[in-house]
Structure 1
């Protein structure tokens, strides 16, 4: 996978995660706060929408992993 970015960054309610290629593979994600705590985790195939409306305002990271392509980490801001 190649995460081409996230739309709506900064965000108030939803993040739209765009997968550039190889969108047929299962991608795992972990939503992590600045203290390193995992807030949410799950998986998806292709492009997805992550709900962020219940998060407090601040900076977060999303760690994407797949067996085929390794790890990507993207930072986003919740308003």
Structure 2
């Protein structure tokens, strides 16, 4: 139970960081300017993917290994 809560908290923090970092990229250059929702969807999906990878990396370095033991 505690592991799941920790995992979600770390994911939420990583998602916020990834969204903030990726928001400086001008996705409007890659998608049609007449449809800004596609740019926001692309930003959201990329932030989700980066946050997932960051969370897995953090958890693998701490909780999955002996570093996080006691």
Structures share fold, TM-score greater than 0.5 = no
TM-score normalised over the length of structure 2: 0.28
Which protein is richer in helix relative to its size?
2
Q: Which has the larger radius of gyration?
A: 2
